[in-house]
Amino acid sequence: MTGLVLERPGPGEYADFYARYIARVPDGDVVAQLATQIADTRRALHALPAARASHRYAAGKWNVTEVVGHLADAERVFAYRALRFARGDETPLPGFDETVYVPAGEFADRSIASVVDEFAAVRSATLVLFSALPAHAARRSGPANGQTVSVRAIAWIIAGHELHHRAILRERYGVG
């Protein structure tokens, strides 16, 4: 581990769409924030009864388990982008369509505990990736979904994406 602190990225390091996620993340060590978040998310969701986990706040919306599955899928995609760009690979990477991924993941057929455990495992790998980055690799960037994004911005996007969905879980589902 390098002890590298990934400073807040500047606006030119990510697509405008991600500004709302990055803005949710408090200043400071984003890698420490990622570690804290997963502990908080696990506490809020691990003991959730199956009836609550399958709740949808409106027709056509994801249930709680599907939201957590989406978090795991999105983080895998974001971390893969960070890995590629950190290693100097500037090959353009495609976007992903969460409206296809979530149903294909069949998260609604699984227990909330299993999906939370999967998300925690993904986060563990993400933490190791970002903790071990050399400083110069964190500033590298590449094209994803038609937009340039830096490696350090991806860490902040991951943190903000979870905070965004945790707020939705709290406000619309009454979770955690």
For the chain, domain boundaries:
14-173
- The residue-averaged pLDDT of 78-93 equals 98
Confidence check: pLDDT of 148 > 50: yes
Average pLDDT value for residue range 149-164: 98
**Mean pLDDT to the nearest integer, 11-24:** 96
Q: Is the dihedral of CA 106, 56, 96, 11 positive or negative?
A: negative
Percent of the chain with pLDDT over 90: 94
pLDDT tens digit sequence for 50-70: 899 999 999 999 999 999 999
Do the Cβ atoms of 87 and 136 come closer than 8 Å? no
Phi, psi (rounded to 5 degrees) for 144: -135, 130
Q: What is the dihedral of CA 54, 57, 60, 64, to 10 degrees?
A: -40
The model's pTM is: 0.96
Cβ-based neighbour number of residue 35 at 10 Å? 15
Question: Do 113 and 46 contact (CB within 8 A), yes or no?
Answer: yes
State residue 4's pLDDT score: 74
Please write the tens of the pLDDT for every residue from 92-119: 999 999 999 999 999 999 999 999 999 9
Percent of the chain with pLDDT over 70: 98
The answer regarding whether domain 14-173 maps to CATH 3.40.50.150 reads no
Mean pLDDT of the chain: 95
